[in-house]
């Protein structure tokens, strides 16, 4: 008996050592996150917010984030925000286009702009020592844009050409535009960033000028900087170069209209396309909602997979194993898109034409398993993957600046990494099952598909598979 007890004790000892080691690593990890530089946020008298995070690097990214995008548009002016992006770097009232380009070239910097559904950002990557000059350039671009008819005409031709390229070559974006248009039909969140071609052809200089005058106000802006910078210096630069940005509105300020989710579908059948492109989603929650993080963990648990990367048969994701073993799809990705007051939680996949039904069956089977029998071990794995993905996405000044700008613009602050890690760690399997039951089980989905989708089940069959008979 004594020998058996000794053997048992010896067998247990490595496990305890492993537990202690894991605990030590977790503590060191949390300590490292706690020691990360804090994001400083200051609100100027005009309402403009200045946010920064100092980094031990000679590179910096400066972003000017604005509450402007397709969700602030209506069916008559949809596309205006993205249109302005195309003419923003064509010169200002102080600088010609060539002078602007020459200054940027001499700095070795890179200017960029992007428009989304809820935000527009003008961004520059540069050396940290050139941040003052870059802020002055961005301030000039957003305050004094030179919008002439010739530039508008050229931008119109470019945009119409780009829309054709997207529709022909980037089917993933096309599917997600259709998904928003059917899920939020009749609301501003259904608007595409590009806008319809008819609007692009009719937008004029005065429309762009009116867009800038009504949206580019100090309370709607965030100056986000990551690099070897100091908050006090940035505040002075913002006062100097952006202090004249108006803070009052002529009439009512632009606001986000209410959204309404509609369970529905849109199919664009085109048998000339080799693969079926499908997205299925339910209504999620807003970015500040307490359910947002458990939904992200649930999405991470479903995971993503691409057959070109291999490894599916050894994946912890049951859907990836099924896709690789039975050749259900070429790739899939689970997503949790969050906006200010709503969201979309679902999956996008590409598959052979005759595999649509089988792939969707496996997807919905996994969704129902999330609602009813997901285990602690699976949730622990999903939490680690989520933390890895979030932290890996914050490599370098550009990613950090974008994270700062987006969070401060939406929520007024940037959540410290140690807080985020703690909230993820507190998610349990019961939390995941609860949010899955709340948002997924027996809910009407939105479905968007493009390509040879004859094999995709009809909407009523998809809807009926959103629940299991429970005893």
pLDDT digits 0-9 by tens, 86-111: 999 999 999 999 999 999 999 999 99
Please compute, for residue 296, the number of CA atoms within 13 A of its CA located in the half-sphere on the CB side.
24
Has residue 275 got a pLDDT over 90? yes
Has residue 20 got a pLDDT over 70? no
Q: Supply the pLDDT for residue 103.
A: 95
- Reported as a single tens digit per residue, the pLDDT across 199-227 is 999 999 999 999 999 999 999 999 999 99
Q: Supply the pLDDT for residue 26.
A: 66
The pairs formed by 24-28 with CB atoms below 8 angstroms and a separation of 24 or more are none
User: What does the pLDDT average to over 181-210?
Assistant: 95
Structural contact between residues 263 and 441, judged by C-beta atoms closer than 8 angstroms: no
> Which are the catalytic amino acids?
85
Model's pTM, two decimal places?
Answer: 0.91
Q: Supply the pLDDT for residue 31.
A: 64
Has residue 471 got a pLDDT over 80? no
Has residue 6 got a pLDDT over 80? no
C-alpha separations of 284 from 2, 27, 336, 408, 439 in Å: 58, 33, 7, 21, 7
Query: Which residues, listed in sequence order, are joined to residue 343 by a DSSP beta bridge?
Result: 338
- Reported as a single tens digit per residue, the pLDDT across 139-180 is 999 999 999 999 999 999 999 999 888 888 889 999 999 999
The span from the CA of 294 to the CA of 129, in Å, is: 41
C-alpha separations of 99 from 102, 103, 104, 137, 148 in Å: 5, 6, 9, 11, 17
Backbone conformation region of residue 47, classed left if phi is above 0, alpha if psi is from -120 to 50, else beta: left
Has residue 14 got a pLDDT over 50? no
Q: Supply the pLDDT for residue 5.
A: 32
Beta strands in 258-324 (DSSP E): 265-269, 276-283, 304-306
User: Comparing 5 with 290, which gets the higher pLDDT?
Assistant: 290
Q: Supply the pLDDT for residue 1.
A: 34
Burial 113-130 (b: 16+ CB within 10 A, else e): bebbbbbbbbbbbbbbeb
The span from the CA of 219 to the CA of 61, in Å, is: 21
Q: Supply the pLDDT for residue 10.
A: 42
Mean pLDDT of the chain: 91
- Reported as a single tens digit per residue, the pLDDT across 306-318 is 998 877 777 888 9
User: What does the pLDDT average to over 327-345?
Assistant: 96
The span from the CA of 273 to the CA of 65, in Å, is: 38
DSSP for 191-232, please give it: --SS--HHHHHH--HHHHHHHHHHH--GGGEEEEEEES--HH
Q: Supply the pLDDT for residue 15.
A: 42
Is the alpha carbon torsion for 62, 64, 65, 68 positive or negative?
negative
The span from the CA of 180 to the CA of 285, in Å, is: 15
Assign 3-state DSSP to the chain and report helix, strand, coil percentages, each to 5: 50, 15, 30
- Reported as a single tens digit per residue, the pLDDT across 436-468 is 999 999 999 999 999 999 999 999 999 999 998
End-to-end distance of the chain based on CA atoms, in angstroms? 47
Strands 120-127 and 49-54: unpaired
Q: Supply the pLDDT for residue 12.
A: 39
User: Which helix (H) or strand (E) is 378 found in, with range?
Assistant: helix 376-392
The span from the CA of 338 to the CA of 341, in Å, is: 8
Has residue 358 got a pLDDT over 60? yes
């Amino acid at each position: 008996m004594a020998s058996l007890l000794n053997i048992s004790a010896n067998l247990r000892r490595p496990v305890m050592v492993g537990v202690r080691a894991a605990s030590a690593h977790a503590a060191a990890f949390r300590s490292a996150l706690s020691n990360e530089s804090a994001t400083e946020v200051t609100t100027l008298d005009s309402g403009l917010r200045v946010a920064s995070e100092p980094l031990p690097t000679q590179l910096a990214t400066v972003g000017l984030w604005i509450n402007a995008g397709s969700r602030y548009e209506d069916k008559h002016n949809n596309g205006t925000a993205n249109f302005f992006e195309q003419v923003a770097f064509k010169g200002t009232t102080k600088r010609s286009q060539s002078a602007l380009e020459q200054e940027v070239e001499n700095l070795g910097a890179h200017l960029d702009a992007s428009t989304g559904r809820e935000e527009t950002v003008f961004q520059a990557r540069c050396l940290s020592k050139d941040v003052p000059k870059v802020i002055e350039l961005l301030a000039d671009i957003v305050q004094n844009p030179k919008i002439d008819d010739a530039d508008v005409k050229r931008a119109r031709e470019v945009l119409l050409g780009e829309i054709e390229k997207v529709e022909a070559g980037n089917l993933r974006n096309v599917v997600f535009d259709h998904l928003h248009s059917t899920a939020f039909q009749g609301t501003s969140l259904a608007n595409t960033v590009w806008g319809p071609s008819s609007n692009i052809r009719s937008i004029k200089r005065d429309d762009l000028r009116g867009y800038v005058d009504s949206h580019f106000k100090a309370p709607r802006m965030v100056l986000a900087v990551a690099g070897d910078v100091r908050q006090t210096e940035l505040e002075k630069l913002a006062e100097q170069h952006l202090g004249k940005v108006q803070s009052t509105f002529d009439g009512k300020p632009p606001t986000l209209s209410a959204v309404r989710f509609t369970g529905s579908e849109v199919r664009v059948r085109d048998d000339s396309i080799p693969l079926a492109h499908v997205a299925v989603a339910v209504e999620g929650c807003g970015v500040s909602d307490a359910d947002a993080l458990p939904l992200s963990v649930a999405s991470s648990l479903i995971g993503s997979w691409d057959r070109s990367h291999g490894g599916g048969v050894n994946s912890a994701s049951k859907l990836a194993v099924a896709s690789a073993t039975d050749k259900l799809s070429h790739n899939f990705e689970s997503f949790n898109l969050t906006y200010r007051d709503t969201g979309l939680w679902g999956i996008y996949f590409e598959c052979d034409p005759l595999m649509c039904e089988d792939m969707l069956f496996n997807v919905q089977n996994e969704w129902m398993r999330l609602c009813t029998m997901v285990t602690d071990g699976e949730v622990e794995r999903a939490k680690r993957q989520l933390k890895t993905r979030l932290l890996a996405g914050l490599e370098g000044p550009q990613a950090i600046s974008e994270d700062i700008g987006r969070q401060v613009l939406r929520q007024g602050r940037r959540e410290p990494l140690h807080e985020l890690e703690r909230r993820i760690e507190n998610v349990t399997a019961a939390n995941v099952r609860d949010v899955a039951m709340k948002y997924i089980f027996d809910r009407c989905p939105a479905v968007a598909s493009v390509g040879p989708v004859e094999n995709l089940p009809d909407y009523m069959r998809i809807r009926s598979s959103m629940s299991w008979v429970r005893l």
